[in-house]
Structure 1
Amino acid sequence: MTRSAALLAFVLMSGCAAPPMQFYTLGAPAIAQNSGTLPASAPVLNVSHVTLPDYLDSQDILIRHGDQLDRSPNGRWGSRLSQGVTDLLAAHLGQDWPGYVVTTQPLAETPALRLAVNISRLDLDSSGQGALTADWALIPSDEHQPVQRGRGSFIAQGAVTTDSGKVALTRTLVEQLAARIASTSPRP
C-alpha cells in the first residue's frame, strides 16, 4: 500500500513540474560574414568585449517594472549577455564592412582597428518599450590617426509577454546600435 501511495504522489508531483528551461541567443552565428575570400593583407577589425552594467551582464533575461527587475523563471541567455551582444555586433559589422576581417578573438598582431563599446543602458519595460544607450570608440592602430567616438540612444517597441519576445526586442536594439556604428565609422 505504501508503494502505491508513493507512486501516486510521484505521478501527481510530476504533473506540477515547471516548464523546461529554455536558452536563447541573439542569433549572431546565423549571420553570414565575409562571403568572399579576403586577401591576406585585409585589415582586421577587432571588436572588444562589450561592457554592460553589472546587473545586466548575466544569463538572466530581465524585464523592468519601475525600479524592480524581474527575472524570467524559465528563460536564460545561452551565455552572458555581454558576450551575445559582442558576437551580434561583430556579425553585423562583418556584413557591413566586407573589406575587413572582423573578429572578437584575441590576435597575435595588432589589428588595424579596434572597436570598444560601452552600453550604459539596456532596459525592457513591462509595457514593451526597449531602450539602449551606448558609447563607442573606433581606435586605429596608427597612433597618429584620431580615435573616432560615437554615442547613440535607441528605442524600440515589442512584445515582452514571452521570453522570445524579449529576445527579439533586445536583438532589435543591438541591431540599431550596429547599424549606427557601421554607418558612422570609416571603411577600408
Structure 2
Amino acid sequence: MTRSAALLAFALMSGCAAPPMQFYTLGAPAIAQNSGTLPASAPVLNVSHVTLPDYLDSQDILIRQGDQLDRSPNGRWGSRLSQGVTDLLAAHLGQDWPGYVVTTQPLAETPALRLAVNISRLDLDSSGQGALTADWALIPSDEHQPIQRSRGSFTAQGTVTTDSGKVALTRTLVEQLAARIASMSPRP
C-alpha cells in the first residue's frame, strides 16, 4: 500500500513539473552566405562585438512592464544577447555587401573597415511593441578617411505571449538595424 501511494504521489507530482528549458538564437547561421569566391584582395569588414545595456546583455529573454523586467521562466538565449546580435548583423552584412569579407573574428591583416554598434535600447513590452535605438560607426583603417556615423530608432509589433514570438520580434528589430546599416555605402 505504501509503495502504491508513493508511485501515485510521484505520478501526480511529475504532472506538475515545469516545461523543459528552451534555448533560442536569432538565426544567424541559417542566413545563406554568398558562395562566390572573393579575390584575395577583397576588403575585410570586421564587425566588432555589439554593446548593449548591462541589464540586457545576458541569456535571459526579457519583457518590460513599465519599470519592471520579467524574465521568461522557460526560454533563454543560446548565448549572451550581444553575441547573437553581433552574429546576425555580420550575417546580413555578408549578404548585403558581397564584395567584402565580413567577419566577427580577428584576422592577421588589418580590416579595411570596422563596424562599431552601440544599442542603447532594445525593449519588448507586454503589449507586443518592440523598440530598438542604436548608433553605429564605420571606421576605415585609413585614418585620413572620414568615419561614417549614424543613428536610428526602429519599432515593430508582434506577439510576446510565447518565447518564440519574443525571439521573432527581437530578430525583426535587429534586421531593421542591419538593413539601415547595409544601406550605407561602405568606403574602405
Question: Could you tell me the TM-score, scaled by structure 1's length?
Answer: 0.97
SS in 2 for 1:139: strand
CA contact (8 A) 2:46 2:103 kept: yes
Rounded Cα–Cα distance in structure 2 between residues aligned with 1:127 and 1:146: 42
In structure 2, the gaps of 5 or more residues are none
Rounded Cα–Cα distance in structure 1 between residues aligned with 2:187 and 2:11: 62
1:4 shift after superposition: 2.5
CA contact (8 A) 1:121 1:131 kept: yes
Aligned residues: CA RMSD? 1.0
Rounded Cα–Cα distance in structure 2 between residues aligned with 1:34 and 1:129: 33
User: Any idea what the Cα deviations from partners look like across 1:56-80, whole Å, max 9, x if unmatched?
Assistant: 0001000000000000110111110
In structure 1, the gaps of 5 or more residues are none
CA contact (8 A) 2:61 2:71 kept: yes
User: Any idea what the Cα deviations from partners look like across 1:84-120, whole Å, max 9, x if unmatched?
Assistant: 0000000000000000000001122110100000000
1:5 shift after superposition: 2.3
1:131 shift after superposition: 0.3
Deviates more, 1:178-187 or 1:9-18: 178-187
1:82 shift after superposition: 0.3
User: Any idea what the Cα deviations from partners look like across 1:15-36, whole Å, max 9, x if unmatched?
Assistant: 1111111111101001112221
Rounded Cα–Cα distance in structure 2 between residues aligned with 1:51 and 1:177: 14
1:160 shift after superposition: 0.8
CA contact (8 A) 1:44 1:102 kept: yes
CA contact (8 A) 1:97 1:187 kept: no
User: Any idea what the Cα deviations from partners look like across 1:139-160, whole Å, max 9, x if unmatched?
Assistant: 1011111111010000111111
SS in 1 for 2:183: helix
Aligned residues: 188
CA contact (8 A) 1:34 1:101 kept: no
CA contact (8 A) 2:140 2:187 kept: no
CA contact (8 A) 1:148 1:185 kept: no
Question: Could you tell me the TM-score, scaled by structure 2's length?
Answer: 0.97
1:184 shift after superposition: 1.8
Deviates more, 1:114-123 or 1:28-37: 28-37
Q: Percent identity?
A: 96
